[in-house]
Structure formats: C-alpha cells, structure tokens
A and B are shown apart, each in its own frame.
Chain A
Amino acid sequence: MNYQTPELRRALAADYAIGLMPPTARRRFEHLLQDDAALRTELASWQAHLTLLTEPLIEQPVADHVWHAIVARIEPQKLHVPARRSFWTWLRLSAVACSLLIAVTAGLLYNHDSVQYKATLLSGTAQPGLRIEAHADYLKVQPLKLAALDAGRSLELWAIPVEGKPVSLGLVPRDGGGRIVLSQRQQQLIKVPVVLAVSLEPQGGSPTGQPTGPVLYQGPLAAL
C-alpha cells in the first residue's frame, strides 16, 4: 500500500486511532510508526481529538484495593523464607556465608574493577530486554531478550539525566552482549541518577546526536 499521500496517511492514522483496522493491518501500521515521526504526530493528533469524547464523563472514586494491587505489581517480589531453621541449617548457611565473604573480599582485593551501578532495561510490555552493569570506565551489556534487528539498523544506548537531553553512550554491540567504553564525560554523567534507554536508529547511530527512532527498552540506573 502507498503510505506517502498525506490524505491516505491521515485516513490510516484515523482508522488506527479509532480501532477500525483488523489485527494484521494494525501490526503493519505499528511497524510503520517506529520509523515515521510524522505519522506518530498524525496519530497523536487523532488520539487527542478522540480523547475529548471522554471529557463529559464524570470522575469516579476508585476503591482502595486497586492502588494496593498496583503497588504489589510494581514492587519487586518478596522471597518467602521459612520461619524456623534447624541448628544444622544455620551451621551450613554460616559456612556458606563465610566462604562467600572470603571469596568476595579476595575478589575485591584482586580486582578493583567492580560493578558500581546496574540497570535492567524493560521493553514496552515490561519484559526484561537487557542488563547493564556500569564499571569505572565501561558498561557491560548483557542481552536478555532482544527483538531481532534488521540489517541497516543499530540500537543506541542513551543516558537521560533528570534535567536535560539524552546523551549517547554508544551503540549496543551487534550481537547484544559486550562492552561499551565510556569517555570521562560519560563517566561523570552516570554518577547522578539517570534513566538508560535504548532507541532504534539507522546503522551507525543517530545522525542528529539525539534519539530519532522509538525507545525500545528503558530503565533507571541504580546504585548497588
């Protein structure tokens, strides 16, 4: 189908916004949206107009249990620990703890290159996409579940400070895993609270220095 005429683009965005498209056409349109900022604007405009249909609705109080259910969903799962342990279990655990302590201390003494911050970046459906560990002068990238990448595309990693524009940290290695070496400026940047985000860009990274494609994964970088 030809998506170039303005009338057709507008009509398709309208069909998508109201929900007239069958599932296959919907997926195709969503694919087009990823690379087409003007189409995203067109869609947003329709959505804004349709949202006005909700304006006459009168606000309704929400039962308390809804908030509790949301909190339970977004909080990390708590581990269920048995209430009582026998003496032998404690002894075994203490032995394990001691050996771990020795191993960690030895590891720290041996290797100053420890992880300082960590982030797990989630997709739009809250699926973990990749894990990032920040070391002193590089990031270690570990893919968890990355979407397949077309040839001619790159994934670019960004740091987004609280106040300010995204700053590129570099490209995610092609196969998903590996290291991204950080400059002095980038090292400073991730010492304050930032959100890490991965956007889909043309091969070689964003030509503008700012994200041009959709954000596929994101998550806050947290101190250990």
Chain B
Amino acid sequence: MALIELKDIYKVYDMGAEQVHALNGVDLQVERGEYVAIMGSSGSGKSTLMNLVGCLDTPTSGSYILNGVAVEELDDSQLAAIRNKEIGFVFQTFNLLARTDALHNVELPLIYAGLSRGERRERARRALEKVGLGDRMHHQPNELSGGQRQRVAIARALVNQPSILLADEPTGNLDSATSEEIMQLFDELHRGGNTVVLVTHEADIARHAWRQVILRDGKVIADEKTVRAEAALTPTPLPEGEGENSGLSSLSR
C-alpha cells in the first residue's frame, strides 16, 4: 500500500464573489522511501497540495489516505496528531522559534508527542548530531547562519521519526553553495530510508529527487522518474550536473 494516496482531490477556495479552484482532480501516490519533487510555477497549486499532504488543510472533495488513515475524515486534534507523528515540515523561512536555542527548537514536536524531558533532550541531541550541528545545540537562531538554521529545522522535522519529510522550497532563502549542502543532506536522509517530498520551482533543486511531479492549473501534467533515478538504478554513478540538461527541468521553467 502506498504511503500517500491522493485520489481525485479538489480544493476550492471561496473568495466571496469568485471561487478559486486551486486543485482540480489530483491523483498522486507516493511509496515509502521515495524522493519526490513537486514542481510548478506560482499559482499551479503546489503549495495547496503540500498543505493537504502535510495535513495542514483538508480537501474540498476527494480522498487522501496517509499511511492507511483516511485523513479527510479527521478532526482538528486528530490532524494535529498526524502532523506530529507522520509529517516533518521544513519551511523556506526556517520558522524556528526566536530566542530559543537549537536544542529546544528541535524538542518542540516531542513536547506535543508527550515525551519526558530526558527523552526529548536525548532525541533532540541525536537529531542535531545527525544534521551536523552537534556543536551548536545551545545557539539561538540569530546566532546561526542560514544553512545552519535550515539544518536545525530539518533536525526538528526528523526528530519524531515521521513517515514523510515535507520540504517547502527548503533552499529558497539560501545561497547556491548552502543550497547544495542542504540538498546533499536531503539526499543523505533519503539514502537513510526517509521518504522525502520537496516542493520547489527550481530545477536545480528538483533534480536531486528521483521523481518529479509537475503541476499546472491544479492538475498533474507530468510525473516521471528523473535522470538521477535512472542513474541510481544503473551501476555507474551519476556525473555531476547532468540533471540540469534534463527535459523535465526545462518544462518547469
């Protein structure tokens, strides 16, 4: 059974006078362990899709089964529990709590999971070490670089061992060198068995994924394996920069 199973999803926003159809019958399945980039220009519905997948929102119609649970039937508290257990969010703007050190930021999901203080500490520490910030645990966000902040956010997303790592333009606020570092971290996490779903409009970023889903006007117009996935399945490793010339990345532009 697929980890994420979206069937005929519609999302309509009622803006008073007119109705905005953000999603028009989206079907999407994501298996456990996949590395998916959702692409599309602004207004294509990719943010709406991400919010739905992340259980921050519910569809107007259609069915969404996440890890065997029919999400569209859940109430607010149950959705919060799903977000806590199943989803790890990484945002473009990091969204760390100010004046709160890295360790406490990473602990946050575990507080709502109801873990004891000692266990929270331990798991947060391990998550930070995993993203290479073992020596920055007691730094506050304003004492960290952009890349480090995003690493803290990724540690926070990972700490409760979610089914999906959901990243919305994770490199949008970072320079290209740092972006590359962050993407390598995602690659590594994927290799470690995590399911990663990226939302991006940058082809450079999307090429890290093994599968690209392209949205336009609230519909999936393309859903293909990337060069990288092909390369991974063949014994020879992917040469650097090859993904840039793929036909899919030009489509998204």
> Are chains A and B native binding partners rather than an unrelated pairing?
no
A interface, CB within 8 angstroms of B: none
B interface, CB within 8 angstroms of A: none
